[in-house]
Amino acid sequence: MSVSLLRLGIAASGARSTAAPLLLDLVAGAAIAHSLRKVRSAYAGSAIRVRRSSDNAEADIGFVGIDLDTASLLAFAGSGSAFVVTWYDQSTNAQHATQTTAASQPRIVNAGALEVGGASLGALRFLAASNHHLSSPYLFGTAATVLASVHNLTRSAAATVIAERSATNGFPSPFQLDFAPTDRPRLFLRSDDGATASAVSAVSYFGAWLLLTGVREVGTTSRVRRNASQLSSVNATLGATTAGATQIGAHIRSTTNGLDGWMREVIVYPSALSSADLATAEANMNAYGGMY
Amino acid sequence: MRYLILSRPSVAYARAISAHLYRLTRPDHARSAEDVSAYWCGWLVHPSTGAVALVMPDEDIPVHTESDADLLVQAVAHAIPPAEAEKLRVDILATRGTRAAPLLFVPQSAQTQLRTHSQMEADGWFATPAEG
């Protein structure tokens, strides 16, 4: 691939066209949008910033067309590994997710090979035993829609995809999207007074990529979905919560409830999407990831 | 992975030691303004005693050719004999430009404070989280 092609953003062999519909162009208004593909046509920044293991140097990695520039990533990593220090927010809000502690940074290249989680697209590998996670400045409101492309490996503990803790009691609140023990997709909500509401799947899912969606809707039915099908719902009318901090890939209160698996996209809208928008967003993410 | 219980029950102290370990691999003058990484490892606070431990990864540390040994040595000198402080300084200088096991930088008298995960678990470092 020539440098001139890269600079022009023309897709290399196997890469998608820049004309493909991008998620945030179809369903605008995301609060945060982390992805290894380009999800908003006007976004001009990088996808990720990475640290390489050979000397701990860091570099921004962008896109070729709409896909992650894996050639530059692998060239930078060399025969070593690379870890994500920043997962840039492609929404208009610039709420980038970061990890300043080297040992807690999710891996994207392992000994010269791109992390893919059994698929063909690049992915962030979160190792629960290493407390891999990224911290986001985003704080949830009382309504939200979260869509995540995730592949979790089976484990006995809960596996967090994204969670915000309350500054009052430290528990994940008001929004936690995770896999409850064992491997059951769940939307877990808690208020400062200790009241909880949980929409949790009765069935376990692990060992494959899936599209996990959590919708919190004020005063009505909140729900968790897998591959665009609803798994469980709950009427989540809870008391107030105090804004705390949000983490991707790990439970804030406990270092033992992190995700053990891969993630390639997590998109948050600050409202419950309409049925039409939710269907559009889920279809777009599936068209990219081929999860179902 | 090993855990090192620190001489001072202070998160600020843990943060400083972790940052000095990271500076061994990437001194401030070698960093770019956009660099994000600042700490080598994480830390834990005991839920009841307040003791603080570093979470030491197994991976070797790439020691920068221009790393400053004195920063880490000065930070731990209060807790170790002068001879161990000098040995730590010599060890850091000797590993410049190579990859070194992180435990090499744990002074002899502090190695009694190293723990395995199961030892930490038995000592109550990992509070069982409530549902959620």
DSSP B2-29: EEEE-SS--HHHHHHHHHHHHHHHS-GG
Over residues A241-262, the pLDDT tens digits come to 777 789 999 876 666 789 999 9
What does the pLDDT read at residue B61?
Answer: 92
Percent of chain A scoring above 70 in pLDDT: 89
Interface test with A, best of B36, B45, B46, B54 (most A CBs within 10 A): B36
pLDDT at residue B99 tops 50: yes
The answer to whether A100 contacts B64, with C-beta atoms less than 8 Å apart, is no
Q: Is the dihedral of CA A167, A173, A177, A181 positive or negative?
A: positive
Which helix (H) or strand (E) is A275 found in, with range? helix A275-289
CA distance B94 to B124: 38
Domain residue limits, chain B: 2-122
Q: Which residue is closest to A176 within chain B, CA to CA? A: B132
Q: Which residue is closest to B30 within chain A, CA to CA? A: A57
Q: Which of the residue ranges A13-22, A89-98, A110-119 would you say has the lowest mean pLDDT? A: A13-22
Between these two residues, A50 and A191, which has the higher pLDDT value?
A50
E-strand spans in B1-132?
2-5, 42-45, 52-56, 61-62, 99-100, 114-115
Q: Which residues is A261 bridged to in the sheet?
A: A126, A152
Contacts of B126 in chain A (CB under 8 A): 254-256
CA A69 to chain B, closest CA, distance in angstroms equals 19
What does the pLDDT read at residue A13?
Answer: 39
Taking residues A269-292, report their average pLDDT.
96
Confidence of residue A17 (pLDDT cuts 50, 70, 90): very low
List the single residue in A58, A60, A188 with the smallest CB-CB distance to B132: A188
What does the pLDDT read at residue A221?
Answer: 87
What does the pLDDT read at residue A189?
Answer: 87
Over residues A209-227, the pLDDT tens digits come to 999 999 998 877 899 999 9
List the single residue in A98, A103, A196 with the smallest CB-CB distance to B36: A98
What does the pLDDT read at residue B26?
Answer: 96
List the single residue in A56, A99, A255 with the smallest CB-CB distance to B25: A56
Q: What are phi and psi of A46, to 5 degrees?
A: -90, 165
- Residue A177: closest CA among A169, A185, A167, A168: A185
pLDDT at residue B129 tops 60: no
Q: Which residue is closest to B35 within chain A, CA to CA? A: A58
Residue pairs spanning A and B at CB distance below 8 A? 81
- Given CB atoms, is B1 within the 8 Å cutoff of chain A? yes
Taking residues B98-107, report their average pLDDT.
93
The answer to whether A86 contacts B36, with C-beta atoms less than 8 Å apart, is yes
Cis upstream peptide for A182 (omega within 30°): yes
Interface test with B, best of A101, A135, A234 (most B CBs within 10 A): A101
CA distance A249 to A264: 11
CA distance A39 to A149: 14
pLDDT at residue B84 tops 50: yes
What does the pLDDT read at residue A66?
Answer: 95
- Residue A152: closest CA among A125, A175, A133: A125
- Residue A170: closest CA among A93, A241, A73: A241
Between these two residues, B41 and A191, which has the higher pLDDT value?
B41
Buried b (16+ CB within 10 A) or exposed e, A205-241: bbeebbbbbbbbbeeeebbbbbbbeebbbbebebeeb
The answer to whether A58 contacts B32, with C-beta atoms less than 8 Å apart, is yes
Interface test with A, best of B1, B37, B40 (most A CBs within 10 A): B37
Over residues B44-76, the pLDDT tens digits come to 999 899 999 999 999 999 999 999 999 999 999
What does the pLDDT read at residue A3?
Answer: 34
ipTM summary value: 0.93
Confidence of residue A32 (pLDDT cuts 50, 70, 90): very high
Q: Coil, strand, or helix at residue B121?
A: helix
Taking residues A142-166, report their average pLDDT.
91
What does the pLDDT read at residue A8?
Answer: 33
Taking residues A279-285, report their average pLDDT.
98
Our CA dihedral for A212, A189, A246, A51, rounded to 10 degrees, sits at -30
CA distance B4 to B27: 23
